[in-house]
Amino acid sequence: MTSQSTKTATGRGREPPKWRMGPASGAGFPIVDREDFSDATFRLEIDHPVMAKAAQPGQFVIIVTHDHGERIPLTIADYDRVKGTVTLVVQAVGKSTREMQQLCRPGTALYSMVGPMGQPSRIGEAKKVICVGGGLGVAPIFPQARAFKERGAYVISVVGFRNRDLIFWEDKFRECCDELIICTDDGSAGIKGLVTKGIAQAIEQHPDIDEVVAVGPPIMMKACAEATRPHGIKTVVSLNPIMVDGTGMCGGCRVKIGGRIMFACVDGPDFDGHDVDFDDLMNRLRRFKEEEQLALERWTETCRRLDMEPHTTTQDSGRS
Amino acid sequence: MPVEAPQARVANFNEVALGFDVENALVECERCLVCPEPACVAGCPVGIDIPGFICKIIDKDYRGAYDIISEANLLPAICGRVCPQEDQCEGVCPVGDTLEPVAVGRLERWVGDRAIEEGWHKRPYIEPNGFRVGIIGSGPAGVACAADLAKAGCAVTVYEALHEPGGVLRYGIPDFRLPNQVVDEEIGNLIDLGIDIRCNTLVGRLFTIEQMLDEMGFDAVFIGTGAGSPKFMDIPGETLNGVLSANELLTRCNLMVAGRFPEYDTPLHLGRRVAVIGSGNTAMDALRVTRRLGAEKVHCVYRRTEAESPARLEELHHAQEEGIEFHWLTAPVEILDDGDGNVRAMRCLRMELGEPDESGRRRPVPIEGSEFEFETDMVVYAIGTNANPILGQTSKLKLNKWGYIETDEDLATSMAGVYAGGDIVTGAATVILAMGAGRRAARSIKEYLGIRDSDIVYQPERSGHEGALFGIDGAERNFVRVRSA
């Protein structure tokens, strides 16, 4: 959107690469569908038949929107092996994700997408599970809930949103869950309160829960782990720390698990929630706070300037 | 030959005759009788071996067809369009006695157009041998192996997990030692050799080595994924913000261009006083990169002395010239918090050299009571790497106790047809050693596939135009096959 809209700034002054960007032919990764759940959350469906075939619940991808972009890890929210597509749910919070919100439309393509990364979630022998998703974690918990259901488990899903307007995929969850508990912060739908309240309710009604799986912001996963600890229920969480390559090469994603250092990208992203040092994780997520703020301000400012001169840029500029 | 409809073509200056596509060309070639004494060659003013190039097209060796034509005529796309073939080659074609003659001109044009499209005139021609080899990793080992196999005629596909090829040459070695444009150029040369490079492909997770061999039609696989998983020291404070591996620092700077944040989206958060732990070549790169990005003070912290430093002498001198401060015989024992989750300082010990250890270097021994605080706000670990675990996690490959892939002296792994070389076998080493291993593996793969390791690729000559009789090749006719009394 910024200086990237000019040809010279995009290519680091070099010719377009001769290598192929993906396992199949063609350049980029075409976006075939998009749905906006709210003013910040949206779903992208990306054409990638090889990945759609390989993806398992709990795995993630790393995407780059354009050749000046950063590598953004996103958990796979769904995949369709027949259509050959992979679904991602993105929350526009920082510069890169807001830029995605603006640029990623059907008919455009992502500059880069690699995956599926990380170890797939272990869909074990559990007979009764609670799948907890909070905020953005609602999307990635879905394939796990479905996988548990397909394995024959009794699945209770607890999903949390700020208010009723932000709810998405209620129908998809109802289809694959035996029970669905919706929690909203303001009580505008389901029960009023955080997902932990939903977990407490589920545990009360079902004393024989074998496993809890929680995906969401670290603070929520921490609360979930604390909620199940007194009951001694196995709790699996999916961590999404800052990372660069996602292949175990940079070590940026190291997390403390039971006092040992692990790489979330190759050892995880699923870990035993009772062993995770969440405070350490939350501190590490603040690592680039200043830079994130700066990038966002600079980007917002550029957008404002470009709004005044709407002809200087096109919708899909900044990507080659 | 397909032509554009007259109504459409009067409105533009596009070419009227649209030319053959592959199917047209192949069907047309089948009509050639491949006469033993071809009249068409005699009818051609420049004497193109017409049955010869037609046979190559039938073999689907289009590049071979171009080579035969261009021996006699370097302008096939032009001559195929403008020659009066009806008075020359096509005029004397025996097929033309009863049917339409073989459309030699259109075939010549098709080959010429294809040569332009593919840029064949710029590339060396290698006769394909029909084998497909998959290479995992586009670093030094992978590209060296790929080049040798491509030169031998294999169809080579290189898979790279990052979004740009080159491996450590791209993400690791900084521009002031190896500019990315040079990497682009050299990799461009490989692509010109016919090597297919595919980025954004994480082998092991997107598909496994087993799938490459069983489902994707590869005859052999080479693994050159590198070591690349950074080591930490397991001392307190390693997860504080401001502590990172040299790999992360260099990847952010070299591959993601973090030095030009916010023009590029990837941040780095450079410290003011940087401490790099380790004194190898990677440490030198990390020191000199942070220096160039504008850190006020850059320190190298190493537990042995300059004499034991594994870095190349030249690198060490360059670093010293650039004002990097070296702290020999110093080992960190703890990284200290500033109270807000960031690095404030390191607690270090002074060392002295004791008896030689198993590597033959004198072992550093801590001096008791020598603890001191070392002020720093960015700590970079450059103390080596471990094996990358992904292929071990996703295949049945036999690994050694450190997680590196086990191979025999021919670099063959425990899986038939799968070879490995470079850091993923030996542990962290140099670019040139990895390239050497890649070439060694290429030699083994050629042996495994039964390709002779020479410039000449032996293939049975197609029996045909050079006077075959009763299915016996012209060359063979001198041998006594049937002796008549």
Mean pLDDT of B310-336: 89
Residue B348 pLDDT greater than 90, yes or no: yes
Task: For residue B453, report the phi and psi dihedrals to the nearest 5 degrees.
Answer: -85, 70
What is the DSSP secondary structure assignment for residue A137, as one 8-state letter?
G
Cβ of residue A76 closer than 8 Å to a chain B Cβ: no
Mean pLDDT of A253-274: 91
Q: How far is B93 from chain A (nearest CA, A)?
A: 41
Cβ under 8 Å to B: A residues 154-213 = none
Q: What is the pLDDT of residue A26?
A: 61
Contact criterion met (CB below 8 Å) for B161 and A248: no
CB pairs under 8 A between A and B: 168
Nearest chain A Cα to B257, which residue? A68
Nearest chain A Cα to B189, which residue? A18
Six token digits for residue B369 = 């009571």
pLDDT category, A23, cuts 50, 70, 90? confident
Nearest chain A Cα to B195, which residue? A19
Question: Does B232 contact A284 at a Cβ distance shorter than 8 Å?
Answer: no
Share of chain B above pLDDT 90, in %: 35
Question: Does B244 contact A292 at a Cβ distance shorter than 8 Å?
Answer: no
Contact criterion met (CB below 8 Å) for B202 and B164: no
Question: Does A54 contact B207 at a Cβ distance shorter than 8 Å?
Answer: yes
- Rounded Cα–Cα distance for residues B384 and B226 (Å): 12
Contact criterion met (CB below 8 Å) for B61 and B155: no
Q: Which of B159, B200, B251 sits opposite A244 (nearest CB)?
A: B251
Q: In one letter, which amino acid is A81? A: R
Six token digits for residue B356 = 């030689």
- Rounded Cα–Cα distance for residues B355 and B347 (Å): 25
Instruction: Report CA-CA distances (Å) from B434 to B139, B141, B156, B225, B383.
Output: 9, 5, 18, 10, 19
Q: How far is B350 from chain A (nearest CA, A)?
A: 26
Question: Does B241 contact A283 at a Cβ distance shorter than 8 Å?
Answer: yes
Q: Which residues pair with A276 in a beta bridge?
A: A257
Cβ of residue A100 closer than 8 Å to a chain B Cβ: no
Question: Does B256 contact A244 at a Cβ distance shorter than 8 Å?
Answer: yes
Residue A25 pLDDT greater than 70, yes or no: no
pLDDT category, B480, cuts 50, 70, 90? very low
pLDDT category, B483, cuts 50, 70, 90? very low
Q: What is the pLDDT of residue B434?
A: 85
- Rounded Cα–Cα distance for residues B254 and B269 (Å): 15
Question: Does B202 contact A247 at a Cβ distance shorter than 8 Å?
Answer: yes
Q: Average the pLDDT over each of A123-127, A269-273, B266-270 and give the range with the smallest value.
A: A123-127
Residue A36 pLDDT greater than 50, yes or no: yes
Task: For residue A266, report the phi and psi dihedrals to the nearest 5 degrees.
Answer: -115, -25
Contacts of B207 in chain A (CB under 8 A): 23, 50, 54
Q: How many CB atoms lie within 10 A of CB A134?
A: 26
Q: What is the pLDDT of residue A44?
A: 93
Which residue's entry shows tokens 């994480």? B202
Mean pLDDT of B331-349: 92
Six token digits for residue A92 = 């526009």
Residue B252 pLDDT greater than 70, yes or no: yes
Q: Which of A59, A244, A287 sits opposite B269 (nearest CB)?
A: A287
pTM: 0.79
Instruction: Report CA-CA distances (Å) from A248 to A261, B224, B226.
Output: 13, 15, 11
Q: What is the pLDDT of residue B16?
A: 63
Higher pLDDT: A97 or B481? It is A97
pLDDT digit string, tens, across residues B183-192: 887 788 788 8
Question: Does A295 contact B252 at a Cβ distance shorter than 8 Å?
Answer: no
Cβ of residue A249 closer than 8 Å to a chain B Cβ: yes
Handedness of CA B292, B298, B301, B306 (dihedral sign): positive
Nearest chain B Cα to A95, which residue? B265
Task: For residue A240, report the phi and psi dihedrals to the nearest 5 degrees.
Answer: -130, 70
Question: Does B200 contact A244 at a Cβ distance shorter than 8 Å?
Answer: no
3-class secondary structure for chain B? Answer: CCECCHHHHCCCCCCCECCCCHHHHHHHHHCCCCCCCCHHHHHCCCCCCHHHHHHHHHCCCHHHHHHHHHHHCCCHHHHHHHCCHHHCCHHHCHHHHCCCCCCHHHHHHHHHHHHHHHCHHHCCCCCCCCCEEEEECCCHHHHHHHHHHHHCCCEEEEECCCCCCCCHHHHCCCCCCCCHHHHHHHHHHHHHCCCEEECCCCCCCCCCHHHHHHCCCCCEEEECCCCCEECCCCCCCCCCECEEEHHHHHHHHHHCCHHHCCCCCCCCCCCCEEEEECCCHHHHHHHHHHHHHCCCEEEEECCCCHHHCCCCHHHHHHHHHCCCEEECCEEEEEEEECCCCEEEEEEEEEEEEEEECCCCCEEEEECCCCCEEEECCEEEECCCEECCCHHHHHCCCCECCCCCECCCCCCECCCCCEEECCHHHHCCCCHHHHHHHHHHHHHHHHHHHCCCCCCCCCCCCCCCCCCCECCECHHHHHCCCCCCC
Contacts of B277 in chain A (CB under 8 A): none
- Rounded Cα–Cα distance for residues B471 and A287 (Å): 76
Nearest chain B Cα to A287, which residue? B241
Q: Roughly how many angstroms between the first and final C-alpha of chain B, as a whole number? A: 53
Q: What is the pLDDT of residue B395?
A: 86
Q: How far is A31 from chain B (nearest CA, A)?
A: 16
pLDDT digit string, tens, across residues A217-247: 999 999 999 999 998 899 999 998 999 999 9
User: What are the structural domains, with CATH classification, of chain A?
Assistant: 24-117+289-305 (2.40.30.10), 128-238 (3.40.50.80)
Q: What is the largest CA-CA distance in chain A?
A: 63
Burial string for B394-421 (b: 16+ CB within 10 Å, else e) reads bbebebeeebbbebeeebbbebebbbbb
Cβ of residue A120 closer than 8 Å to a chain B Cβ: no
pLDDT digit string, tens, across residues B134-175: 999 998 899 889 988 988 888 999 999 999 998 888 898 888
- The interface pTM score, or ipTM, of the predicted complex is 0.85
Contacts of A17 in chain B (CB under 8 A): 164, 184
Nearest chain B Cα to A48, which residue? B206
- Rounded Cα–Cα distance for residues A254 and A261 (Å): 6
Contacts of B188 in chain A (CB under 8 A): 18
Residue A310 pLDDT greater than 80, yes or no: no
Q: In one letter, which amino acid is A249? A: M
Contacts of A70 in chain B (CB under 8 A): 256, 264-267
DSSP labels, A270-311? EEETTTB-HHHHHHHHTTTHHHHHHHHHHHHHHHHHHHHSGG
Instruction: Report CA-CA distances (Å) from B86 to B1, B49, B83, B104, B396.
Output: 15, 17, 9, 10, 63
Provide the CB-side half-sphere exposure for A112 (13 A, CA): 27
- Rounded Cα–Cα distance for residues B459 and B454 (Å): 13
- Rounded Cα–Cα distance for residues B289 and B311 (Å): 16
Cβ of residue A50 closer than 8 Å to a chain B Cβ: yes
Q: Which of B169, B184, B206 to mutate to test the interface with A (most CBs of A within 10 A)?
A: B206
What is the DSSP secondary structure assignment for residue A81, as one 8-state letter?
T
Q: How far is A159 from chain B (nearest CA, A)?
A: 29
Mean pLDDT of B436-465: 69
Nearest chain A Cα to B248, which residue? A250
Cβ of residue A304 closer than 8 Å to a chain B Cβ: no
Q: How far is A123 from chain B (nearest CA, A)?
A: 17
Handedness of CA B318, B324, B329, B331 (dihedral sign): negative
Share of chain A above pLDDT 70, in %: 89
Mean pLDDT of B190-205: 89
Q: How far is A160 from chain B (nearest CA, A)?
A: 30
Q: In one letter, which amino acid is A94? A: G
Contacts of B393 in chain A (CB under 8 A): 119, 266
Mean pLDDT of B223-238: 89
Question: Does B191 contact A19 at a Cβ distance shorter than 8 Å?
Answer: yes
pLDDT digit string, tens, across residues A165-180: 888 898 889 988 998 9
- Average per-residue pLDDT in chain A? 85
Bond before A116 cis per omega within 30 degrees: yes
Burial of A190 (0-12, 13-18, 19+ CB in 10 A): buried
Q: What is the pLDDT of residue B461?
A: 45
What is the DSSP secondary structure assignment for residue A52, as one 8-state letter?
H
Higher pLDDT: B54 or A313? It is B54
Mean pLDDT of A35-62: 92
